[in-house]
Structure 1
Amino acid sequence: MWPLWLLASLLALSQALPFEQKAFWDFTLDDGLPMLNDEEASGADSTSGIPDLDALPPTFSAMCPFGCHCHLRVVQCSDLGLKAVPKEISPDTTLLDLQNNDISELRKDDFKGLQHLYALVLVNNKISKIHAKAFSPLRKLQKLYISKNHLVEIPPNLPSSLAELRIHDNRIRKVPKGVFSGLRNMNCIEMGGNPLENSGFEPGAFDGLKLNYLRISEAKLTGIPKDLPETLNELHLDHNKIQAIELEDLLRYSKLYRLGLGHNQIRMIENGSLSFLPTLRELHLDNNKLSRVPAGLPDLKLLQVVYLHTNNITKVGVNDFCPVGFGVKRAYYNGISLFNNPVPYWEVQPATFRCVTDRLAIQFGNYKK
């Protein structure tokens, strides 16, 4: 006989959110990279390295481009209809915001003298051409946001100081070998929303990178790309056309904490594939075509969140999530989503969720043909 509390929790209509693009960076604050929420998972210092703008002494330079707003060392020239990078930018500027303009080209001397620039925001322009030496003066640049432009290739000669590159929603089809050469400080790349296929990644394209975070969502991938950095803590491949996870696909990524594969066409996950991810904490497989719970979940001792909603799962076994015996799992689940699957919830045994912290963590039911 089902306990009333468990039956009620399984009948409850629940919602779980798939991966979504993070909100754009607030230009006067920096909460760090949108990676893992705890220090252990981030693999990085809790401080981001951006100067404390309020603690800096005010600049006494009267230089401020016409129409822009300049405060301390932040120059904000967004939404002005600019056709080119403005002149008369103070050389002590640390953050230059040029988003939402009509800039189509970055020329050789556009950033001349800006050797203290920490962050450059060029989102939502019309940039299709970048001079090979456009970024040469930017010796301290750590954040480059150049998403939503017309780029067909990753810019050459990126500053060696760069730590974060956001280049999503462009027209990039190829990632050649050597394009990231010398970028030893890079730990975050967001390159989703480009028409990238698996064949677009040349062998060795990511050689030398020690990334923590990589997102290639909303592309044209049919499988997990080969030879991604082994250092990855987060890999997001949601909204692609991936159909299967084969045994060798995850072999290199033993340091992953989060794996995002939602909104694909995955029908099969080969047995043993997940065993290469001993530190995995979150697995997102929602909105796919799985017919059963992936094998190997009970062996992932640190796994806490599993999104499996909106698949074709028809049965949930008593040992699909939890290991046999007590004290085996080091972290209990705090989120399992199974709603919108054709599972007869009344047939699921209560012991199936014996390693879940709270009954409210189970999201089950609400299936419509």
Structure 2
Amino acid sequence: MELFLVISTLLLVSSVSSQDMPYEHVLAQLQACPKECRCPRSSPHVVYCDNRNLKTIPNIPPHTWYLYLQNNQIDVLSEKALRNTTQLRWLNLNHNKITDQGVEEGALKALSGLIHLQMEDNLLTTIPTPLPASLEQLRLSRNKISKIPPGVFSGMDHLALLDLQGNKLGDEAVTEQSLKGLSGLVQVNLAKNNLKIMPSGLPATTTQLYLDSNDIEKIPPEYFKDLPKMAFLRLNFNKLGNGGLPKNIFDLPSILDLQLSHNQLTEVPLFPLSLEHLHLDHNKIKSVNGTEICPVPIGTLDESANESGPRLRYLRLDGNEIKPPISWDLIICFRLLRAIVI
């Protein structure tokens, strides 16, 4: 999904050309281009103001769709500077010095067509508000965010990607109330925060959940009951032991990629037929019994590999206490395996 989002974004940007605008708009856009920025004649919808050591946002031309302001010294998100950019779709403010107080009231809400907002590596301690309801991607990683105000995502049913990794979020911040309104969420990244329990309140649309580098010790028995589309789950670098994983917790027909590296497991957890990639490296596993972990009785499998059987293709077990050779029953069960790392 992440790859799909990247590819679709590149296609969207590459489609921008002067042919999309009347000549008089192109001329007006180029004439209004701030002296601190670069406005390509071939792509007049795009304005590059990145890496210019800017301390304030210059007045941006009205026909701008894509605005790049990353890697500057900006500390205020000015409503005045963006007042005329009613067509803005993409705003990149990564690597600046914007604080909560620096986000002027109404500066973001007025951008009613904004789809992508990037404010990574700033000085925010909370989610900026109000946000435009049009947003599809919100990237706020590596700030100092410790709270999510209740209702901040109200009405944001278009938001598909929420990236909050590398902040200071605790369990009390990520709740059903704080995430209310994200009815279309697909990918959520809460890695490198201060979580001790699995986050609550995720919508049923969630497909990708990244929780690496937290302090999670267990997964509640019914946790995935209301997450029927879960396909990519990452819990690397946590504190999960065998007792923290209910027996059939990963029995999810939609799951494709499961990552549990750098935990405290001594056994391979059970997983369903659908799983294709399993990362269990750097745990405390001593042996792997193919008969026990096979999703179906080995005797019921056909002689040839096929899609009706287990679909595991990649298995990583290095950094454990397992010694080769691999047991033959593992090979018999997982006949689509292309790589086993020990």
The TM tier, using the shorter chain, reads 0.7 to 0.9
Corresponding residue for 1:250?
Answer: 224
Letter in 2 for 1:67: E
Pick one of 235, 248, 271 that aligns with 2:247: 271
Distance 1:242 1:357 in 2: 33
Distance 1:76 1:167 in 2: 21
Would the alpha carbon gap of residues 192 and 350 (structure 1) be closer, same or farther in structure 2, given more than 3 Å must change?
same
Would the alpha carbon gap of residues 344 and 122 (structure 1) be closer, same or farther in structure 2, given more than 3 Å must change?
same
Corresponding residue for 1:316?
Answer: 288
Would the alpha carbon gap of residues 155 and 359 (structure 1) be closer, same or farther in structure 2, given more than 3 Å must change?
closer
Corresponding residue for 1:221?
Answer: 195
TM-score (norm 1): 0.81
**Residue ranges of structure 2 left out of the alignment (5+ in a row):** none
Matches within 5 A, 1:26-45: 32-33=4-5
Corresponding residue for 1:349?
Answer: 327
Shift of 1:49: 5.8
Q: How many residues align?
A: 320
Corresponding residue for 2:113?
Answer: 140
Would the alpha carbon gap of residues 170 and 164 (structure 1) be closer, same or farther in structure 2, given more than 3 Å must change?
same
Corresponding residue for 1:118?
Answer: 89
Would the alpha carbon gap of residues 137 and 48 (structure 1) be closer, same or farther in structure 2, given more than 3 Å must change?
farther
Corresponding residue for 1:168?
Answer: 141
User: What secondary structure does 2:250 align onto?
Assistant: helix
1:116–1:140 CA contact under 8 A, matched in 2: yes
1:303–1:331 CA contact under 8 A, matched in 2: yes
Pick one of 279, 284, 287 that aligns with 2:262: 287
Shift of 1:118: 0.8
Letter in 1 for 2:322: V
1:206 maps onto 2:179 in alignment = yes
Pick one of 53, 61, 73 that aligns with 2:45: 73
Corresponding residue for 2:66?
Answer: 95
Distance 2:108 2:153 in 1: 14
Letter in 2 for 1:356: F
2:313–2:337 CA contact under 8 A, matched in 1: no
2:295–2:310 CA contact under 8 A, matched in 1: no
Distance 1:240 1:264 in 2: 5
1:160–1:182 CA contact under 8 A, matched in 2: yes
User: What secondary structure does 1:69 align onto?
Assistant: coil
Shift of 1:205: 1.5
Shift of 1:358: 5.2
User: What secondary structure does 2:172 align onto?
Assistant: helix
1:332 maps onto 2:311 in alignment = yes
Shift of 1:51: 7.2
Distance 1:306 1:141 in 2: 37
User: What secondary structure does 1:251 align onto?
Assistant: helix
Once the two structures are aligned, what percentage of the paired residues are identical? 28
Shift of 1:94: 0.6
Letter in 1 for 2:185: L
1:32–1:48 CA contact under 8 A, matched in 2: no
User: What secondary structure does 1:96 align onto?
Assistant: strand
Pick one of 168, 181, 184 that aligns with 1:195: 168
**Residue ranges of structure 1 left out of the alignment (5+ in a row):** 1-21, 23-30, 38-44, 365-369
Distance 1:338 1:85 in 2: 50
The range that moved more, 312-321 or 163-172, is 312-321
Corresponding residue for 1:105?
Answer: 76
Shift of 1:225: 0.7
Pick one of 291, 306, 311 that aligns with 2:278: 306
1:260–1:284 CA contact under 8 A, matched in 2: yes
Corresponding residue for 1:63?
Answer: 32
